[in-house]
Amino acid sequence: MTLKELIFGLIGGTALLMYGVDKMGEGLEKASGDMMKKILSVLTGRVWSAFLVGTFLTALVQSSTAITVLTVGFVNAGLMKLPQAIGIIYGANIGTTITAQLMSFSFDFKLTDIALPVIGIGFLTSYFLKQKTLKSIGEALMGFGFMFLGLKILNGGIPFMQNSESLKYFFETYAAIPIVGVLLGAMATALVHSSSATVALVMVLAQAGLIDLQTSICIMLGDNIGTCITAQLASLTGNIHARRTAWAHTLYNIIGVLVVAAILPLFVNIVTSVTAYLQPGQGINAQIANSHTIFNLLSALVFLPITKYYVKFLETIIKDRKGEDDSSILLDKLLLETPVAALRAVLGEVVRAAEITKEMFSTVMEAFYNNDEARFEVVLKKENRINELQKDISLYMVELSKKGLTDTQSIMVPALLSSINNIERIGDNSQNLLELVQSKIDKKLSFSEEAINEINLMQVSVLEMYDCVINSLKTNDEKYTLKALQLEEEIDALTEKLSSNHLERLKAGYCSIESGVIFLDIVSVFERIADHMYKISVSPLEDLKGLPRNELTEIM
């Protein structure tokens, strides 16, 4: 083999390996079906359950980077709290070690020789079978095959590397220095965005005799730091919670690397002893794979009991940016590849928008009772926020609609768009209400005590309807939906009654015509707000949740 062939082999073999890992993970993820939807409910549990979920998911899709980036997206979208996200990260680091174990197994048992048949079987399965799960399994098999083929090509360069004095000198003189090994691993993984590719190259170099176990472990340690770069990039446009999640991943790995580096000779002995006990007769590839697994297992076992203190530490050192809204929820593009999570994030935004319009309504009414113009600016800022939310949600849903949605996910799209449009119109009506309050203040108009009490009575009903609609969006509980429908009827009846009472007061001379006009307009705005909330209620909540229709839907 010539130097040119070696270089092309390294490039091509690494590319095939990376493609194979991605293809395998993509196929396994598709084959898992709606499992992600069920798993999301687990993510709200304890750190231990999040840890187990992270381990399982990463073992399933074979990419800690994908799971970690997705976790950053979940936290950014408000779907997960920081402690649960950290649990996912602990597990993801362990789950990804299975790839290294597979590669070690393929080296030791010559699985690389069956790469082409595996690719052929995977292709036939994915091309000719119609069942989606089987097609996805076929894609995963192709990924396995490409991974083995990449390893086989990389293996082909071992004889050349063994005879290269230049390579021997470099690795013996420089790479053998622990800090240099760590930096090499970190840079290589950061460049290719694949810890699996770096581990494979380490195994090839070890097979060629260019590096020993200690140097291999140092590169592996750097590998764990380099894999954090993708999560850091994903968090750059995120909120404070997303940044803390990314730094939780980075600092977790850095601290683990520093601890192991401090006891490196002892750690090498542990790896050697464990491999000799569990896999007697296995070579350096098994030791490299086991070092990856042992490192991540030990890191998780140390950090799991102290997670709450780690969270406090992160909250202390990762501060909010100036002017940042700590409670903001963002529609993260990272979630678009996982529609069930993206739709849940959109529903969270719809709920948030409804809560903002409720705050607007309450603030306007405080300004009405107290003639307080200072509150106007707050209301107008919230109105702008609602307009932005409507625009963001609409654009996000357009992007999401381009993805492969299931039937249940597809019915959620128009329901969510209808809801945010009605919420935006509620915001417009609150702004109309503000203009009426401005007119009342400018003209120094007064209202009779009876008129004030009637407005207050109707306001209480509207606020109660707000609560019912918001709770129904959050919980999909029919009792809130039925109560909202009942309140809408009561508000319609109140509108007629208050209008009639107002005419009687006008006849009796208890109020001025100008005050009366504003009174009627306020009552009319209340009714319109209730009408839009009613439309959200009758936009079947099963559609918003992607659930089967029930009897309540048919009644509405």
pLDDT of residue 555: 34
Q: Where in the chain is the domain with CATH 1.20.58.220?
A: 338-555
Written as one string, the DSSP assignment of 177-233 is SHHHHHHHHHHHHHHHT-HHHHHHHHHHHHHTTSS-HHHHHHHHHHHHHHTTHHHHH
Query: 78: left (phi > 0), else alpha (psi -120 to 50), else beta?
Result: left
What digits encode the pLDDT tens for the residues 455-513?
Answer: 899 999 999 999 998 888 887 777 888 888 888 888 889 888 888 887 777 776 666 77
Residue 428 has pLDDT above 90, yes or no: yes
Higher pLDDT, 178 or 40: 178
In the structure encoding, which two tokens stand for residue 264, read together?
A: 């490196």
**Residue 336's pLDDT band (cuts 50, 70, 90):** confident
Positive or negative, the Cα torsion across 249, 254, 259, 265? positive
Residue 237 has pLDDT above 70, yes or no: no
Q: Cα-flanking dihedrals φ and ψ of residue 82, to 5°?
A: -60, -45
Residue 323 has pLDDT above 80, yes or no: no
CA dihedral angle for residue 339, residue 550, residue 356, residue 421, rounded to 10 degrees? 70
Please work out, in degrees rounded to the nearest 5, the angle formed at the alpha carbon of residue 408 by the alpha carbons of 404 and 409. 45
**Residue 217's pLDDT band (cuts 50, 70, 90):** very high
* Lowest-confidence segment of 66-75, 220-229, 241-250, 257-266 by average pLDDT: 66-75
CB 475, CB 542: distance < 8 Å: no
Q: Which residues of 207-232 are buried (b: 16+ CB within 10 A; e: fewer)?
A: bbebbebbbbbbbbbbbbbbbbbbbb
Within 13 Å, how many C-alpha atoms sit on residue 199's CB side?
A: 30
pLDDT of residue 535: 85
CATH number for the domain formed by residue range(s) 338-555: 1.20.58.220
- The 10 Å Cβ neighbour count of residue 34 is 12
pLDDT of residue 327: 46
**Residue 45's pLDDT band (cuts 50, 70, 90):** low
Please give the share of the chain, as a percent, with pLDDT higher than 70.
Answer: 82
Q: Which residue, among 10, 4, 8, has the nearest Cα to 204 in the 3D structure?
A: 10
Q: What is the CA radius of gyration of the chain?
A: 31
CB 491, CB 461: distance < 8 Å: yes
543 alpha-carbon distance from chain centroid: 22
What digits encode the pLDDT tens for the residues 24-35?
Answer: 766 766 665 456
Please give the share of the chain, as a percent, with pLDDT higher than 90.
Answer: 21
What digits encode the pLDDT tens for the residues 177-213?
Answer: 889 989 988 888 887 667 777 888 888 888 878 888 9
pLDDT of residue 313: 93
pLDDT of residue 298: 93
Residue 1 has pLDDT above 70, yes or no: no
CA pair distance 86, 72, nearest whole angstrom: 10
Written as one string, the DSSP assignment of 64-125 is HHHHHHHHHHHHHTTSS-HHHHHHHHHHHHHHTHHHHHHHHHHHHTTGGGGHHHHHHHHHHH
Amino acid at 240: I
In the structure encoding, which two tokens stand for residue 370, read together?
A: 């107290």
pLDDT of residue 556: 38
Higher pLDDT, 338 or 37: 338
CB 224, CB 68: distance < 8 Å: no
Higher pLDDT, 338 or 311: 311
* Lowest-confidence segment of 123-127, 190-194, 512-516 by average pLDDT: 190-194
Mean pLDDT of 16-44: 63
